[in-house]
Amino acid sequence: MGSLDIAANMPIIWRHSVDEERYEKARVGRVFNRRRPKRYPVAVVEAESEEHIVQAVKLAIGQQLRISVRSGGHSWAAWSVRDNAVLLDLGKWEHISLDKDAGTVTVSPSTTGHVLNNYLGQHGFLFPGGHCPDVGLGGFLLQGGMGWNCKNWGWACENIVALDVVTADGELVRVDEEQNSDLFFAARGAGPGFPAIVTKFHLKVRKSYTSMLASTFVYPISKYSEVLDWVVKISPGFDDAVEIVACANTPAEVGEICITAHFVTFKNTREEAVKSLELANTTRPEGFLVEIVNEPTSLAEEYKAQALANPTGHRYCAENGYIKNDSNVAAVLEPSFTTLPHPKAFAIWFAMNPCSRRELPDMALSMQSDHYFAVYTVWEDENDDERCQKWTRGVMKDLAPHCEGAYLGDSDFQIRQTKFWTDDKANRLMEIRRRRDPTSRICGYLIPGDASGAEGLENIDKLHLD
């Protein structure tokens, strides 16, 4: 069967044969970032089954085109939208099935953490997916997965038991520790450079927690150094149930930049949860604007808060880094936390110790430190594009020398490359890419000019700044 015959049997939208409105909806309708890329796929396949995914790869081979993949559409740089490629959109391929006895769930890549946890919660389980409710599991897991309570539960990708993938030559295969183990290594940390296309993830799940509490303290930005120093100092003293984040943002009820410390604990009794948060509640500095202590919460409530912080229909750029453990964290992060360029922008410090202090499994993901930093610049007006992006680049340029490297998920390789893996893991990953996809059939890392090819991504610091 020829490639065009294959195309006749699947849902495909060719750029040259449909009206512009329909093409644009297929091209960028599911891209979360309103700062849409000026890149134009030859066609968009809106897959509804595993067979459609296999067919899309064979179509790309037959037409001598590259193929790119969209799971949730939430990458800030819209990695899935590529020139002269077939865009495989997985949004209509939906699958969730739970094996209670085994404690595993099987999901399609476009399934979001919110949807998955709504399903799992009905059966007494949860999965540490992305904090933002509409992040698809595909990109999230491939880049490592800094999910709920990552500092204690570890990286979400460590819960991958197996994957079903379509290889660059169009074969559907199982991937786990025993079968295609090189792809199992790569799937946990390769990000958009994974040299295959995932059709299903098989994941370990956790038992649900019946008593989640949160304590939140909001301070004026004039208290920045005192508050961040406090949070950084006390973080190692909590038990393994507490997620900790410090955030600079502009609460609507305050109307100016503040620093917020937020502590969430996952326990099964209120007594345990209260004890878990005691360190924060009894040592918090004076001078707060808002104090919320031991407030009952849930994943559903935390997702609501994340949705408010990451609104749809907005323009975004993001940057991040793992701050070196011996740094004066508050001093290093002060410009990014105190000079936000827009009321909807925010910056975070995320506690990673003790996850950052243990030996990781044998997987591509290998870069981490005690201190994760990210800035999410959010705005609405296209006229603010240059100002907001320039601020983000400037902040990161000054901050980069204080970083061990960065997390793939909050990066844009067209703006800045850095170390995303330890050198040995990077070399091994790129060798797997070259061997598994020597013709670079599957679009990989989007660098300037889309020129990474089978060689992948250099694991070095490189700024592409104006």
How many CB atoms sit inside 10 A of residue 108's CB? 25
- The answer to whether 224 and 259 are in contact (CB under 8 A) is yes
Judgement on whether residues 84 and 199 belong to the same structural domain of the protein = no
Query: Does residue 220 share a domain with residue 198?
Result: no
Domain of residue 69: give its range: 3-89
pLDDT confidence of residue 466: 45
Listed residues 417, 432, 461: the one ending a domain: 417
Looking at the structure, do residues 199 and 228 belong to the same domain, yes or no? no
* Whether residue 71 is found in the same domain as residue 104: no
- The whole-number pLDDT of residue 10 equals 86
Tell me the C-alpha distance between 443 and 37, whole Å.
16
Classify strands 43-46 and 85-89 as parallel, antiparallel or unpaired.
Answer: parallel
Q: Give the pLDDT confidence score for residue 4 in this predicted structure.
A: 65
- For residue range 132-162, list pLDDT tens digits in order: 999 999 999 999 999 999 999 999 999 999 9
pLDDT at 461: 82
Residues with Cβ within 8 Å of residue 328, at least 6 apart in sequence: none
CA 397 vs. chain centroid, Å, equals: 22
CATH number for the domain spanning 41: value is: 3.30.43.10
Q: How many residues does the chain have?
A: 466
Could you tell me if 168 and 316 lie in one domain?
no
Helices within 174-287 (DSSP H only): 181-187, 224-234, 270-283
Number of domains in the chain: 3
**87 SS3 class:** strand
Question: In this structure, is residue 445 part of a structural domain?
Answer: no
CA atoms 324, 463, 333, 218: torsion sign: negative
Quick one: 54 and 199 in the same domain?
no
Whether 464 is covered by a domain: the verdict is: no
> Is position 435 within any domain?
no
Together in a domain, 122 and 199: yes
Per DSSP, helices labelled H in 346-436 are 385-399, 423-436
Q: How many Cβ atoms are within 10 Å of 457's Cβ, its own excluded?
A: 25
3-state secondary structure of 217: strand
Supply the pTM of this predicted model: 0.96
The residue from 89, 120, 150 where one domain ends is 89
Residues 256 and 356 in one domain: yes
Is there a domain that residue 282 lies in?
A: yes
Question: Tell me, what CATH number does 257's domain have?
Answer: 3.40.462.20
Question: In this structure, are 303 and 350 located in the same domain?
Answer: yes
Summarize pLDDT for 356-412 with one digit per residue, the tens: 999 999 999 999 999 999 999 999 999 999 999 999 999 999 999 999 999 999 999
Residue-by-residue DSSP string for 160-194: EEEEEEEETTS-EEEESSSSSHHHHHHHTT-GGG-
Give the residue ranges of DSSP H helices in 284-349.
299-309, 329-338
Residue 279 is assigned to a structural domain of this protein: yes
Domain boundary among 89, 110, 143: 89
* Residue 350 forms part of a structural domain: yes
In this prediction, the residues of the chain whose per-residue pLDDT falls under 70 are 1-8, 463-466
Residue 165 lies in a domain: yes
Q: Is residue 396 part of a domain?
A: yes
The 10s digit of each residue's pLDDT in 163-190 is: 999 999 999 999 999 999 999 999 999 9
Q: Given this model, what pLDDT does residue 462 score?
A: 73
